[in-house]
């Protein structure tokens, strides 16, 4: 069974982004870019499934600009066997990415697709569910534990108020939550090996997919600033302020 | 123009997040209908009919809808979707699970986590963990939306008188099944609906200390307990207590952060709280930059003192 894993190149999670002064977006020129952290967890999970002998091949996929090849090399350094880049300079929204991934599913026929639950740039949390809908397959989102056996995936999901376990027939789409696993550190030998692995490049046109955006960004602005209040010297003053000034207790 | 709100409920009652979502639908304008998809959910449907601003409740009832499986719920929504210009879900685990499935089947983009309605097709939403706000316009015929509940004041839960229409539940997809649920049991208010939240960070040092220090404070204030990602990752607190961009987004009347440094992603989850108190011994902790009242102190001393003083 093959596993397809989608990875996105995003602004590194340690970077505090700045809104451009013309309000056209955030300034991502010259900032560090990395693999979306949830996608790293997705690759790690796929590689662990291969190491357990449950899958035969892990294919990493990314959609976007040429530099996404670096992200795919990282995925292969973690352990993906090969990679596919769908290259375009156009803005890609989740529906477009889901359509591209669906086209690749048709080509590769994976038994499982694993994606991060959301990207930390647009915070959409859509692509996995959309792919499941387009492929008419079951979905197990926000996974914190995955077991694969007997043509099914038994997935524990993080939901409001606790955990939920569902069984989905394979092929299925899984999206990862933070605590599914802790991705391994990539080692230098594995980085070197990853450079030699196969990386195919397609264009959206090659896959027959219309990636035109459906949602226009009119403006990006700074969030309302919350100003710092006062420091209180002791607990008694704090209680007094909460009771008599803020009146919240 | 008519909006459909997908209710968050437990079959017996309507969850507060539904009320915020109705408020967002009301801000769009036009009629507001609510879909209650569940099993033996008559009480929830009756409660939905009481919500002010709702003109019709559609009650789909059947065993296939009991567990809230995304495949079945999405099919139920799609069965009536053609009657609506806007389909809104609360941005809860359930809402986020189902909404994109509906959007993709309708071949429309989805607008996630809206915090403000500018017009029937233009919305505001946070991006980059709340470090920027985007104003976005949908060009699709149907708008599929998830609503960040803290962005909208709840609609009144009683006083309305909507009609209730019963529809047949969809057939099972046969592709997924429910195995079990492990609900964190406690008598505290739900994190996303609590008026007061006390939240603990990595400084607590262990799960024993976390409970020993935080529980008496929560009990005294009748508060829900939250935690930072660092505390959750370290195993001091349960996963579903995590407040932050990738956890729960909360906006209580009072948020008391104990031993939380205030990483960007934590602040993104709680900075809309009305009053923020920070107790931290590090004077440079970023949490102080958003706190209304900061107390520079060792939490192991200050929190018990606070419990005694309340």
For residue A169, the cross-strand partners are A152
State the nearest Cα–Cα gap between B158 and chain A, in angstroms.
Answer: 25
CA distance A143 to A170: 15
Contact residues, chain B, for A118 at CB < 8 Å:
246
Q: What pLDDT is stored for residue B290 in this prediction?
A: 94
Average pLDDT of the residues in A101-109: 98
Give the DSSP per-residue string, A116-128: ES--TTT----HH
Nearest to B122 among A98, A140, A218 (CB): A218
Contact B290, B262 (CB under 8 A): yes
pLDDT value at residue B144: 98
* Confidence tier at B23 by pLDDT (50, 70, 90): very high
| pTM of the complete model | 0.93
How sure is the predictor about A117, in pLDDT bands with cuts at 50, 70 and 90? very high
| Residues A224-242 pLDDT 10s | 888 889 999 999 999 999 9
Q: Which two tokens stand for residue B30?
A: 């036009």
**Average pLDDT, integer, range B152-166:** 96
| Chain A residues within an 8 Å CB radius of B236 | none
Alpha helices per DSSP H over B60-195: 70-80, 93-105
Residues of chain B positioned with their CB less than 8 A from the CB of A154: 179
Please state which of the ranges A15-19, A53-57, B278-282 shows the lowest mean pLDDT: A15-19
User: Which one, of B101, B201, B134, lies nearest residue A26 by Cα?
Assistant: B134
Q: What is the ipTM of this complex?
A: 0.94
B121 CB neighbour count, 10 Å cutoff: 18
| Arithmetic mean of pLDDT, B93-103 | 98
Mean pLDDT calculated for residue range A58-78: 98
Contact B14, B7 (CB under 8 A): yes
Q: What pLDDT sits at residue B274?
A: 93
pLDDT in tens, B237-277: 988 899 997 788 899 999 999 999 999 889 989 998 999 99
Q: Which helix (H) or strand (E) holds A197?
A: none
Let me know if B251 is exposed, middle or buried by CB neighbors in 10 A (0-12, 13-18, 19+).
middle
Q: In the prediction, which pLDDT does A183 show?
A: 95
What is the mean pLDDT of the segment spanning B137-150?
96
The phi and psi torsions of B186 (rounded to 5 degrees) equal -160, 165
Dihedral over Cα of A239, A242, A245, A249: its sign = negative
Asked whether residue A95 carries a pLDDT value surpassing 80, the answer given is yes
pLDDT in tens, B176-214: 999 999 887 777 888 888 999 999 999 999 999 999 999
Q: Answer yes or no: is pLDDT of B159 > 80.
A: yes
Q: Which residues pair with A156 in a beta bridge?
A: A145, A165
Q: Closest Cα of chain B to A63: distance in Å?
A: 17
How confident is the prediction for chain B on average, in pLDDT? 95
- The pLDDT, as a whole number, for residue B130 is 86
pLDDT for residue B184:
73
- The verdict on a CB contact (< 8 Å) between B274 and A124 is no
What does the pLDDT average to over A156-182?
A: 94
Confidence at residue B247, expressed as pLDDT on a 0 to 100 scale: 83
Q: Does the pLDDT value for residue B102 go beyond 80?
A: yes
- Picking from B9, B91, B97 by the largest number of A CB atoms within 10 A of its own CB, the best residue to mutate is B97
Integer Cα distance of B91 and B150 in angstroms: 10
Contact B87, B3 (CB under 8 A): yes
High-pLDDT (> 90) share of chain B, % = 90
d(CA A13, CA B72): 35
Q: What is the pLDDT of residue B236?
A: 96
- The whole-number average pLDDT for the span A198-212 is 97
Q: What is the pLDDT of residue B188?
A: 86
């Amino acid at each position: 069974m093959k596993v397809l894993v989608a990875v996105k190149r995003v602004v590194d999670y340690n970077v505090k982004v700045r809104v451009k002064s013309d309000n056209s977006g955030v300034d991502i020129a010259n900032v560090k870019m990395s693999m979306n952290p949830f996608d790293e967890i997705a690759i790690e999970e796929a590689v662990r499934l291969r190491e357990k002998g449950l899958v035969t091949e892990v294919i990493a996929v990314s959609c976007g600009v040429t530099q996404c090849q670096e992200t795919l090399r990282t995925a292969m350094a973690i352990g993906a066997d090969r990679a596919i880049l769908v290259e375009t300079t156009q803005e890609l929204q989740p529906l477009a990415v889901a359509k591209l991934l669906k086209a690749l599913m048709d080509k590769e026929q994976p038994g499982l697709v694993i994606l991060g639950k959301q990207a930390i740039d647009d915070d959409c949390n859509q692509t996995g569910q959309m792919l499941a809908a387009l492929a008419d397959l079951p979905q197990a989102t926000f996974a914190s534990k995955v077991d694969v056996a007997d043509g099914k995936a038994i997935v524990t999901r993080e939901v409001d108020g606790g955990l939920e376990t569902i069984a989905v027939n394979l092929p299925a789409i899984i999206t990862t939550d933070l605590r599914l696993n802790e991705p391994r550190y990539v080692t230098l030998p594995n980085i070197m090996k990853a450079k030699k692995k196969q990386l195919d490049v397609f264009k959206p046109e090659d896959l027959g997919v219309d990636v035109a955006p459906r949602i226009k960004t009119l403006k990006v602005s700074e969030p309302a600033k919350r100003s710092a209040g006062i420091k209180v010297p002791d607990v008694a003053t704090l209680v007094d302020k909460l009771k008599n000034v803020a009146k919240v207790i | 123009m008519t909006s459909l709100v997908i209710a968050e409920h437990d079959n017996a009652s309507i969850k507060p997040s539904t009320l915020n979502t109705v408020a967002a639908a009301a801000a769009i304008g036009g009629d507001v209908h609510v879909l209650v998809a569940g099993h033996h959910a008559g009480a929830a449907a009756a409660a939905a009919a009481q919500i002010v601003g709702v003109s019709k409740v559609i009650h789909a009832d059947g065993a296939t809808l009991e567990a809230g499986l995304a495949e079945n719920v999405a099919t139920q929504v799609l069965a009536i979707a053609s009657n609506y210009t806007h389909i809104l879900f609360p941005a809860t685990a359930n809402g986020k699970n189902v909404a994109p499935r509906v959007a993709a089947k309708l071949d429309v983009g989805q607008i996630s986590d809206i915090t403000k309605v500018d017009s029937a097709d233009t919305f505001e939403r946070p991006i980059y963990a709340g470090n920027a706000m985007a104003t976005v316009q949908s060009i699709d015929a149907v708008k599929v939306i998830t609503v960040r509940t803290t962005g909208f004041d709840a609609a009144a839960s009683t006083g309305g008188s909507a009609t209730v229409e019963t529809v047949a539940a969809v057939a099972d997809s046969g592709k997924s099944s429910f195995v079990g649920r492990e609900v964190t049991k406690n008598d505290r208010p739900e994190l996303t609906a609590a008026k007061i939240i006390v939240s603990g960070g990595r400084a607590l040092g262990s799960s024993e200390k976390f409970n020993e220090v935080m529980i008496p404070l929560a009990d005294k204030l009748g508060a829900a307990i939250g935690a930072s990602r660092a505390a959750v990752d370290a195993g001091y607190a349960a996963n579903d207590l995590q407040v932050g961009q990738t956890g729960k987004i909360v906006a209580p009347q009072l948020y008391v952060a104990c031993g939380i440094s205030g990483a960007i992603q934590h602040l993104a989850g709680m900075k809309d709280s009305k009053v923020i108190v920070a107790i931290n011994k590090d004077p440079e902790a970023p949490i102080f930059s958003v706190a209304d009242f900061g107390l520079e102190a060792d939490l192991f001393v200050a929190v018990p003192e606070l419990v005694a003083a309340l």
